[in-house]
Structure formats: structure tokens, C-alpha cells
Chains A and B, each alone.
Chain A
Amino acid sequence: MKVTEKDVAYVAGLANLELTQEEQAGMVRDLNSILHYVERLNELDTSNVAPMAQVSDRYGVDGSKPGTERFSYASREDIPEGLRKSLAREEALANAPDSDGVFFKVPKVIER
């Protein structure tokens, strides 16, 4: 067992999840089973392999250009209002669980 209940509680905190007791037990079992499955990656020697976060710096760009110049097509003039106008306040607030018509409302942030 690589992942313990304590680890699960810690990671749940990082992820802002409050798991029930039952969920925690299930998570210990599932994470261990998945991590056991992904262990097979260690069969590969990757010491001289560069990591790849995404593919679009290799394909669909002009590879003859160095570094970020490849993406020059994706840059644009700074338009203060944005490509799309900002949402009107009432639109921005329309999906909020709680608001006073001007601001989003949340429970008290600072505990005394």
C-alpha cells in the first residue's frame, strides 16, 4: 500500500475536497490500485528524454522559427476591452449562487 488514509486526507485538503469517511476508504483502495497500474512506467529508462507538456510547439507551427517566435501568429495587439467585450455586471452575476446585485457574496473569510 503506497497511499494511506493520512495521504488521502492530505491530498483532499490540497484539492479542496471534503470526503466522507466512506469516500476516504474507497479512495485509498482506488488510488492504490491505479498507482500500482501506472508503476509500469518505471520499466522505461527516460533519463535522456525531454518531457512534453503539449504537442502544439512541434506541429502546426513554423518549425524553422526559434522558440516562442513559432507562436507569433497567436499574439495580437493589446485591446483594452478584450476580443470580446466584458460581460455586463448582471450577466456576470446571473449564475452566482449568492450576490447582492453588485458583488458575489461568500461566507465570512476571516475568523475572529
Chain B
Amino acid sequence: MELTSLTIDAARSVVQERRTSALALAEAHYARIQKEDGQVGAFLTLSKERALEQADRIDRMAAEGKPLPALGGVPVGIKDVMVTRGVRTTAGSRILANYIPFYDCTAVARMEAAGAVVLGKMNCDEFAMGSSNENSAFHPVRNPRDLTRVPGGSSGGAAAAVAADMAVVTLGSDTGGSIRQPASFCGVVGLMPTYGRVSRYGLIAFASSLDHIGPLAKTVKDAAIVLRSIAGRDPMDPTSADLPVPDYVAEVDKPVRGLKLGVAKEYFGEGLDDEVRQAVETAIDNLKHLGCEIVPVSLPHTPYATPTYYLVATAEASSNLARYDGVRYSYRAPGVKSLSEMYRRSRDEGFGTEVKRRIMLGTYALSAGYYDAYYLKAQKVRTLLVRDFEEAFTKVDAIVTPTSPTAAFRLGEKSNDPVAMYLADVYTVTADLAGIPGISVPCGKTKEKLPIGLQILGRHFDEATVLRVAHAYEQAS
């Protein structure tokens, strides 16, 4: 039995039935990390002590014959933007390089309550700002499917670790596509739940109205199991919705026959790579053969989504990142003589180029004289984007699109052109702005053997349908 290629249910079962131990499972993954991660760079920090303690707890439960919870003994990784008590949490930034939190992110606490063994913290773009993981202050992540390529971003480490069997599942965060796009580039499943479905408490804020936590997994069912474990109201996050959590795992197996799937031409226009287009069109044909009805829909404001996103997200970021002042828990520049010099130099030395670029853009968009022209304008276009989806979802149950216009690009290929880099998220930012759920599921490979992703978008709080369609496609392909 290969201990590092198990799904969640398989891993839990072998621990439950004591064919192996949670401890052995964790050790096997650490051995794999030791062997593989030197060249991939997916982990920033290993939390071995915490992992082995939890594994021991799970093993004692199994020894006593108690039924293990849904993630009992399952080795997982956590993107380093979610705080972990006693375990360094950096957000991929020099400004938090030595930050040791005193509390746990709710999603992480719920994973552990469900029995997960947290192996460590996953590399990411600094403050989740990036589409290639090249903006990590520590080191880039390489795509395990082709080490000359990026894994996507910003949850690049979280995607790469699952692809390289260094973790069974990971938690990532998605503000403009940061779960789905790296999932697509690395050939794994990535789910962004509805805004408000999963608590953001303990998620280091990038853009509060757009930030989502969700799983990266080997299978759609694994993503459903994780979502069921972390979803639901949390008093610590007032924006978490007070709605019942369906049994997503039962939902994935329901038939898809008769479901109406929308296809919007705006997601198949200029900039879409031919091989990606062919793979996604083939996937749509497969869904048709499974009994889904394919319905053309229009989302006319889609071309305006990326500029809207880069104004809204940067404005919110400029406000959220004002807290890094070198006083309470972040980096302080040495040798400063006054308070204002301390703020400025600490932030200049602590933040990387892309983060500073976004703080500058956001500050500019919010500043006197430009607020109406940029930030307010973007908020209005956001309304139009939401209306596009509302209209489309009166006709269809879900919408299928490519996840990203291309497969994984090479390291360095786009790092000098911010706008070119932003276009890697052109098909994913819409769902973040509208707050709807979306999943990326692998749908074939390019001639160069690079994974391609199919994106499925659903109505607010209808992750069940998104998962169901993704599962049906995955099982049939």
C-alpha cells in the first residue's frame, strides 16, 4: 500500500482498521516532503510536533475502537495565510517572517476537530497577491508536473503539495482565483465556496469582501468532505452565513441528468489558448453525454471583471495592510529614529514589490479626487457583474468555463508585466466579485503534458450542484 497516494476515505479507513497508524501516515508524508520538496518548495514551515500529537490522539481513538471523524488521521497542509496557534504564520511575507500566532483560524480548528493532521504551512504569493507563486518572499514554488513551470497562485504550495502527494488535501484561499487557477495548473481539484459559507476568522485579510477559504484535493469527493467539515456559521465572523450546511458528500453522487449547464461565449474569446479551448469543449460534450442540457448564456460584463477586481481588491488591501506598522507583531526596520520613519521603512523593507504596487494602486483609487472615478466606478460595475450571473442562473443550474486561459506558464515568463500576470485570472475573478461558488476539476492535458482545468460555477450557496457536476465529469473522464 502506497501511503502517500490515498484519498481521504482510504486514509481514514486504513487508520480506523489499524492497517497502519495515523503516525505512520504522517511520517510517510514527511518522508515524501523530505524527498520531493527540495525541488518543489511547497512548504514554508513544518508543524511536526503538532502533527504527531494529533496523530497520536487519532491512533488512540482507533485503538479504542471509536469511530474516527471524517478527516481522522488524514495528513493535510494549510496555506500560510491562515493563522495557526504556536506555528509560524508568514503570509509569504518578510513582514511576518517571525510571527507566531496565539490562536487558530476557525477553518483550521474545524479541520483538526474533524481529525486532520496538520503537516505544515504552504508557500504562497505574499499576502495571497499573485498568480504564479513567484511573489513569495521566501522562495518560489515549482509545478510538480513540470519543474520549469509555475504552479499558479496564490495557493501555489497548496496545489503543488496535493499534486506531488505531499499532503492528501490542503486548505487554500481564493480572492481572485487563487484556489482554482493553481488547481488547474497542477492538475488537482480546487473548490472556492460561496462567500460566507466558510468563516474567514483567522484568515490574514487581503480583500475582505472577496476572500474565501476552500480545499485543494485529489478528488471532488475529497473536496466535498473537507467543505462539509469547515462550512457553517461562526460567531467570530459576522459575514459567515447562518444557513444549514448540506451533506455535500451525499450530494456528489446524485445524478446530473437533466441539469442545465450554461456556456457563455465571453469565456471563450480572445486570449484563450487553442488546446485549452479544445479540452474544455470536449469536457462540455462529455457532460452532454451524461444527460446535461447545454444552454448558451450571456455574461456580457465579463471583459470588465478583471479591471473591476484590481480596483476593488487593491482598495481593500491598502486598508487591510495598514495594520503592518512594526509595533505589535510585524517586522521593524533597524536603526529608525522617529515613529513615522519606522512605519515607512519597516513597510518598505517588509513588503515585496507586488504588495507595494497593490497598496499604491488601492491608495490611489481611494484618494481624494480619484475615489469616484476608480473605486466607486468599480463598485458599480461589480453590481453589473452580479446581475449578469443572476440573469444567467434563472436559465441554468451551473455554468461551465475554462479555469484559466492557458496551462501553466514558465517561471519568469510574466513576472515583469503586472497586467499580463493579472490576465491569468480573467475567468476566475468574476466568481469572487459575485460571491458565487466555483470549482476547478482537471480536464485533460496539453501536448506538453500540462494539466488543463474545467471550471464549474454555481448559484450562491449551491456548492452541492457544483460538486455534483464536477464529480459526474470526473467519474466519467
Contacts and interface: CB of A to CB of B under 8 A. Distances in A.
B385 to A, nearest CB: 9
Contacts of A33: 418-419
Contact of B361 (A23, A34, A109): A34
Contact of B332 (A30, A55, A98, A108): A98
Interface residues of B, number: 76
A37 to B, nearest CB: 5
A52 B382 contact: yes
A80 interface: no
Contacts of A37: 306-307, 310, 419, 422
Contact of A16 (B98, B330, B344, B357): B344
Interface stretch (B53-61, B214-222, B232-240, B272-280): B232-240
A26 to B, nearest CB: 8
Interface in B354-384: 356-357, 359-361, 363-364, 367, 374, 376-384
B181 to A, nearest CB: 19
B158 to A, nearest CB: 24
Contacts of B344: 16-18
Contact of A34 (B304, B310, B326, B329): B310
Nearest to A73: B242
A12 interface: yes
A41 B307 contact: yes
A17 B338 contact: no
A74 interface: yes
A11 B331 contact: no
A107 interface: yes
B196 interface: yes
Interface in A1-58: 3, 7-8, 11-12, 14-20, 23, 26-27, 30-31, 33-35, 37-44, 46, 49-56, 58
A76 B239 CA distance: 14
A49 B367 CA distance: 22
B236 A83 contact: yes
A11 B434 contact: no
Interface residues of A, number: 61
Contacts of A18: 341, 344-345, 347-348
Nearest to B349: A18
A52 B293 CA distance: 33
- Residue with the highest number of chain B CB atoms closer than 10 Å, among A11, A16, A17, A107: A16
B326 A97 contact: yes
Contacts of B10: none
Contacts of B98: 95
Given A30-B418, A111-B338, A54 B209 contact: yes
Interface of A: 3, 7-8, 11-12, 14-20, 23, 26-27, 30-31, 33-35, 37-44, 46, 49-56, 58-61, 71, 73-74, 76, 83-84, 87, 91-92, 94-98, 104, 106-109, 111
24 contacts: A11-B367, A16-B343, A17-B347, A17-B356, A18-B348, A23-B353, A27-B357, A34-B310, A37-B306, A39-B307, A46-B380, A50-B383, A51-B376, A54-B208, A54-B239, A59-B461, A60-B242, A73-B242, A74-B239, A83-B236, A87-B102, A95-B329, A104-B327, A107-B339
